[in-house]
Structure 1
Amino acid sequence: MRTIFAYLFAFLGIILCTPYHLYLYLLAKKDQEKAYRHAQKLVKGFFGIVMFICGAKCTVIGLERVPKDQPILFVGNHRSFFDILCCHNALDRPLGFMSKDGILKVPILPWYMKDIGCTFLDRSDLKKGLETIMQSADIVKSGHSMMVFPEGHRNNGEELLPFKDGAYKIAQKAGCPIVPVSICGTDNIMEANKHNFIRSHKVVIEFLDPIDINGMKPKERKEVLETIPGLIQEARVKNLPLATKK
């Protein structure tokens, strides 16, 4: 029943909120930051109801480590579609995501993604990919935080997939800190289940210590960035018992 209710609510919510999207579209032309704030409230409420219906019980660790009053590039491992819902609602700030451009083919949904500052990456075209990275950096420079999943796609394996380092260029160009994010348990809500049926499950999101690569020489920056997947995996393994505890 969770699966039916969740899909039905998501479908109806996306359709019924269309007039508000039009309001946000017009507001963004006058005050982009205000539009982001309004979009955050709408999406946070929508995500919260979806998580409640789906039984996603989220534990958040390390929020005190996240720098306040400045934009952040959040970098996380990617387990599930629910990564986006849980991470967005864990933070009390507007947050956009870098997504694959294939999502643009889905009706209506990309409108709301653009409302919260998402960008869309075309991995088949290097030039367009670089343009998206620069667009994302400009959004961060304007004061809006973003999150990327450098594994490239959802991964249900025990080990992380290799991180694509292009995402880090957003922080390099925007001059913002990077906060690694460990995500554990989200795939057990849907992707790990037969036929993608939705099941209630515990989720653990941990925000790790910020990393500032500003002013680093290329070699030093490369060495520091290469440690990020290991830090995320270490935290994910540590938090597995919390995500499976009854």
Structure 2
Amino acid sequence: MTRTRVLITGASSGLGMGLAHEFASRGATLALCARRTDRLDRLAEDLVASNPQTRVVTRTLDVNDHGAVFTTFNDLSTELGGLDRVVVNAGIGKGEALGTGGFEDNLATLETNLVAGLAQIEAAMAIFREQQEGHLVVMSSVSAFRGLRRAMTTYAASKAGLAMLAEGLRAELVNGRAGDIKVSTIYPGYIQTELNENVDAPFMVDAATGCRALAKAIEKEPDSAVVPAWPWAPIGAAMRHLPLPIVNKLT
């Protein structure tokens, strides 16, 4: 790894935990953040036991506490002597069909996935601008490619908004005026995690396979990547253009 100091939010479960294992196996120094301290502590113990060369520091963080996001990111950067990569991963999957009484769940999804995502991007970019280098990784979703129905409507919108924040940053940084800062938007397909363990979705892959593919894609520092590429890259391309009734069947 060329970028060895990696901060991951939402690291206590799901894709964040899987990425922590993948980057630890590559020799990274990890800064892991999540709300559930007990899980973070167990994860840190497991990572060091499996990868003795790996240093792991943890912080309790609710990304909806925006001030704490900035403080935590800055503290971790100071402790590690800088940050090479920040993975904006924390998110939730609540949601109800619009107009059916699920406003609070839909609001929570927007606040956690998009507004708190903005706070994490701002905090990371402030550090990278000062360093004149860094790699920002924004975890979106293939659901961001189209408006989706029912419980997925607000989730898809939140992930689409997150992707647009990242794209706007790339447009700003294209001439390298802020230094060697890269921004990658990652669009995971359906990867089995706690978030979707009760979802019967097509083309689902297991967490180990999905997180291995995610780490490999992130290491390449692309502008954007759909992961796993098969079958989600062609499905994602099709989703952008197919009529909504067909999109409904794919998702």
Same fold (TM over 0.5): no
What is the TM-score normalised by the length of structure 1? 0.34
Where relative contact order (Cα < 8 A, 6+ residues apart) is larger, the structure is 1
